[in-house]
Amino acid sequence: MGTGVPRGHLPGVECGSTRARQPDASTPAYGGGVGEVLVVGAGPVGLTTAIELARRGVRCRIVERRPGPHDGTRACTIWQRTLELFDLMGLPVDRLRALGTTFRHRVYDIFGAHEVVLDVSEPDSAHPEPLIVSQEHTEAMLVSHLASLGVSVEWGVPYSGGVEADWVVVAEGARSASRERLGIGWAVSGFPGTQLVQVDARCAPDLPGDPAAVRLFLGPAGSVGSLPLPDGRHRLFISRPGSGVGDPSVEEIRDWARAMTGSPVSLSDPRYNWRAKLYNGIADRYREGRYLLVGDAAHAVIPVNAQGMNTGIQDAVNLGWKLAAVIADKAPESLVDSYEAERRPVAVGLLEQTRRSYWAGTDPAPDPDTMVQLLARNGKRRTLIGMGYPSSPLSVGAQVGSIRPGDRAPYPPGNPVAAGLAQAMRAGGWAVFAFGPSPAASAAAATVAAGRARVLPLVFADGAAYGLRPDEDGLFLVRPDGHVGFAGRLSDVDGAGSYLTTLLG
């Protein structure tokens, strides 16, 4: 837990202040008057946080320094678990999908010695393939849905402290000023001597391989990636030695792509060419009193693995239901501390993974055979379907069927179990899944859910979706973020009830 900074006041800001410092005389500063939660930052992570609060009846306000939404492709890969969460939040995922394109394979050319084709589809998910769609479309969907809940983004409103709010969620990005003012440490690990250059452009002829796949070419001079975009362009991203200044020219990117892939590619109709020096960063802690960090304000990861936005959105979903339970349902405030306990290890693992896998031609060349083995072992982790919280204090019980406490709850396409999960999650609450003979299963589910408006009892005779044999029964409590909190048998009704009482009061 943090040090108890009172009611959302930043250190050094006078309590009761009605107006924040004015960073620019022509720009209005945030002046207070929020209610329960102020969300600072209206990128995908801040918007998701606000939606998760608002749809559970929590009063919130969201402010953003930028004059309007982002434009362009930016973070454009949405992995399957994030699509599932959007779906379970009640967002119009089908409409978003119609604006993008999906892919199934990531193809790696490893030093010309090996080709590794990874199938990144998840056939047991209602969203089996990752989606490539411009970030501007993702943000537009989130802004629109938030407005339907009665909350509008306040654009062009910077935040510099001095606001009375019960809680402040900081979603300002990696250069968060609020994190610095709060004195939260920020550990940075760089990739010295390397750079990333990128452009969205039409390629003719295309790079070698299937143009509908994500392709990566690793060679002595670094790596080249190609990502198919919905409008027929490809995003080319190149990691290589150097420290150039300013945005690269399209000709510079073209020449590197030719040299590093052996293709006579030409680029036309380019957009969004830029250069970056890459680093990973992570906050020492995610909470300081009533301030909570989410997304890039809590952890920044290099963009080459397309995980930053997805991880941040999942932060927001994890935090959102917990903070709403504390505010709206008077759950113990300690529930909020489980946010960092669950999500920070995910970020630590992601940063370590990117450190091991990033190749820009500066370190000793990795062994190709070892890389093949690593890809075969870890290739599907990026979909985030298998990510869970087995070590969380909120994960109680034992493995039943194929499900352990902390696992993602199964969401099989076209299955009544998935429909039940969607019904509970879209209502913003919990689900009790009772599998087994009808009288016993019905009684168990009803007993656990009794007196709790946000807990939906669901009864099924067939527990195959949870890996149960026909003669096995099971009792599962699924949290509002779609993870299993408690796993047991129908006889464990008292344990399930005690779990909810301890967690929610």
Report whether pLDDT(157) > 90. yes
Weakest mean pLDDT among 25-29, 153-157, 197-201, 388-392: 25-29
pLDDT at 384: 86
pLDDT at 29: 47
Does 85 map to a domain? no
Confidence of residue 17 (pLDDT cuts 50, 70, 90): very low
> How many residues are present in the chain?
505
Nearest to residue 245, comparing CAs of 197, 284, 205? 197
Nearest to residue 171, comparing CAs of 201, 199, 149, 142? 142
Report whether pLDDT(6) > 60. no
- Calculate the alpha carbon distances from 263 to 255, 257, 419, 499 in Å: 10, 8, 48, 59
- Asked if residue 258 and residue 145 are part of one domain, the reply reads no
Report whether pLDDT(24) > 70. no
Report whether pLDDT(380) > 80. no
Does 90 map to a domain? no
Does 86 map to a domain? no
**Is residue 230 classed as helix, strand or coil in its secondary structure?**
coil
- Asked if residue 342 and residue 251 are part of one domain, the reply reads no
Confidence of residue 412 (pLDDT cuts 50, 70, 90): very high
Backbone angles phi, psi at 173, to 5 degrees: 105, 180
Does 350 map to a domain? yes
Which tens digits make up the pLDDT trace of 459-497?
Answer: 999 999 999 999 999 999 999 999 999 999 999 999 999
Extract the runs of DSSP E, i.e. beta strands, from 229-348. 234-241, 266-276, 279-283, 287-288, 291-293, 299-300
Report whether pLDDT(5) > 70. no
Report whether pLDDT(196) > 70. yes
Which tens digits make up the pLDDT trace of 336-347?
Answer: 999 999 999 999
- Asked if residue 412 and residue 499 are part of one domain, the reply reads yes
Q: 272: domain CATH number? A: 3.30.70.2450
Q: How many domains, in total, are found in the chain?
A: 3
Report whether pLDDT(2) > 90. no
Which tens digits make up the pLDDT trace of 72-116?
Answer: 899 999 999 999 999 999 999 999 999 999 999 999 999 888 899
Report whether pLDDT(273) > 70. yes
Confidence of residue 234 (pLDDT cuts 50, 70, 90): very high
- Asked if residue 289 and residue 170 are part of one domain, the reply reads yes
**How much is the pTM?**
0.91
- Asked if residue 251 and residue 143 are part of one domain, the reply reads no
Which residues are within 8 A (CB) of 233 and not within 5 positions of it... i.e. 6 or more apart?
200, 201, 202, 269, 271
Rounded average pLDDT over 161-169: 85
- Asked if residue 300 and residue 267 are part of one domain, the reply reads no
Report whether pLDDT(22) > 70. no
| Domain stop point among 277, 309, 337 | 277
Q: 479: domain CATH number? A: 3.40.30.10
- Asked if residue 444 and residue 320 are part of one domain, the reply reads no
- Asked if residue 150 and residue 48 are part of one domain, the reply reads yes
Rounded average pLDDT over 447-463: 96
Report whether pLDDT(186) > 70. yes
The answer to whether 494 touches 444, Cβ cutoff 8 Å, is no
Q: Which two tokens stand for residue 93?
A: 């995922």
Please give the residue range of the domain that contains residue 230: 194-277
